[in-house]
Amino acid sequence: PGPAAALNLQDIEDFAEKVLTATAWAYYRSTSDDEYSYWENFASFKRFWFRPRVLNKISVISTETTMFGLPSSLPIFVAPAALARLGHTDGEMNLTRAAGAEGIPQGISSNSSCSVDEIMAAKRPDQNLIFQLYVNRDRAASERVIRNLEKQGFKAIMLTVDAPLAGNRELDRRTKGFASTAGPAHGKTGPEDSGVASAISGYQDPDVCWDDIPWIQSLTKLPLIIKGIQCIEDAEKAFEYGAQSIILSNHGGRSLDFSPAPMTVLYELHKLRPDLLKKHEVYIDGGVRRGTDVLKALCLGARGVGLGRPFLWGNSVWGEEGCRRVVEIMREEIVTGMRFLGITRLDQLTPDLVQYFDRDPV
């Protein structure tokens, strides 16, 4: 069947599970330890219910916004994810073509399987790409990468801070896959029998710390996004250090099990530091699978949300068309949700449109 056969993002995941190799499925799907954080990412959205407003004019809807200072047709971005070529020979290029066609920003992983040149050639002239950085133990190598980003055409730099090492992803380790399509950003540094994740993460410097933020900022004028913030204290710190924006994330449940769902951290920020949410852009990613998830996050003050695996699934089944189908489904669901909430613009998504249940409600 074609992409239209998928009515929702779960359908796309189900198709992907059927077509992917065991190694690719295991790498994409795997999460840490007992998967509590992975499942909590989904569950956390279900604790928020709407308080819809009726009898408003809803024929004309706009989902336009800016994220990271970049225009976007939807409050959704492609979260950076490694090794898209495990699912399709065109790899990240498909995600880039789809993001360009749909008008949304994309994060390009340090561990992309396509080269930056390939990805830049696949993008539209007006399309905005963000480089996701893992810092190399060889600092000179990272320095070269960072200094080059502006010239290459990237619009921002996204430093990922929640994965200084690979999480304990047992599904991945069991399949003993090896990242034979690993890209040029790094060497194949892990042992061959320990799973894809460990094979591609060995170059990372585990001693990257707050003091390195000024170093990164000294090498580029691009705005700095910090991805992987998991508590209020670090959110405050990130802004003190001059981050333009932050992404609350637990790496899709792939790093520390029992790290909180980003929606939980966002709710805490909303309750305790609403001033931060007003002053700065805060994003979340992890477990976003429905338009209503996006709307809830925006009600609590998020500027936008990232999706990781859904694009890998779409790419694996139908390439570029599959990635576009992910956005198309989200677009339909977001517009429908806005109509039922009685609003026509994203800036009308306010906290009074949701309520929190301190229990799993159904």
Positions that interact with ligand FNR (CB under 6 A): 27-28, 41, 79-82, 109-111, 132, 160, 227, 249, 251-252, 254, 285-288, 306-309, 312
Handedness of CA 287, 253, 285, 102 (dihedral sign): negative
Clarify whether 88 is annotated catalytic: no
Q: State the Cα angle at 189 between 183 and 192, rounded to 5°.
A: 100
Question: How long a stretch of residues is the chain?
Answer: 362
Which residue, 166 or 343, has its beta carbon nearer to ligand FNR?
166
Which are the contacts of 50, defined by CB distance < 8 A and separation ≥ 6?
292, 295, 296, 340, 341, 353, 354, 355
Which residue, 312 or 346, has its beta carbon nearer to ligand FNR?
312
Which residue, 81 or 219, has its beta carbon nearer to ligand FNR?
81
Q: How far is CA 295 from the centre of its chain?
A: 16
Give the residue closest to ligand FNR by C-beta. Answer: 308
Rounded (10°) angle between helices 36-46 and 291-299: 80
Active-site residue (options: 88, 172, 234, 251): 251
Clarify whether 251 is annotated catalytic: yes
**CB 248 to ligand FNR: min, Å:** 10
Q: Report strand pairing: 304-307 vs 76-78.
A: parallel
Which residue, 100 or 107, has its beta carbon nearer to ligand FNR?
107
Which are the contacts of 59, defined by CB distance < 8 A and separation ≥ 6?
none
Active-site residue (options: 90, 162, 257, 285): 162
Q: State the Cα angle at 266 between 223 and 305, rounded to 5°.
A: 55
**CB 286 to ligand FNR: min, Å:** 4
**CB 297 to ligand FNR: min, Å:** 12
Which residue, 315 or 353, has its beta carbon nearer to ligand FNR?
315
Residue 231: Cβ-neighbour burial (10 angstroms; 0-12, 13-18, 19+)? middle
Element (H, E) at 322: helix 309-341
**CB 222 to ligand FNR: min, Å:** 16
**CB 92 to ligand FNR: min, Å:** 11
Which residue, 23 or 220, has its beta carbon nearer to ligand FNR?
23
**CB 122 to ligand FNR: min, Å:** 18
Active-site residue (options: 27, 28, 38, 134): 134
Q: Which two tokens stand for residue 89?
A: 């020979």
Clarify whether 28 is annotated catalytic: no
**CB 51 to ligand FNR: min, Å:** 26
Element (H, E) at 45: helix 36-46
CB 99 within 8 A of CB 67: no
User: Which residue pairs, CB below 8 angstroms and at least 24 apart, start in 193-200?
Assistant: 195/26, 195/27, 195/30, 195/166, 195/169, 196/23, 196/26, 196/27, 196/83, 196/86, 196/172, 197/27, 197/30, 197/166, 197/167, 197/169, 197/172, 197/254, 198/166, 198/173, 200/82, 200/83, 200/111
Which residue, 23 or 127, has its beta carbon nearer to ligand FNR?
23
The catalytic residues are 134, 162, 251
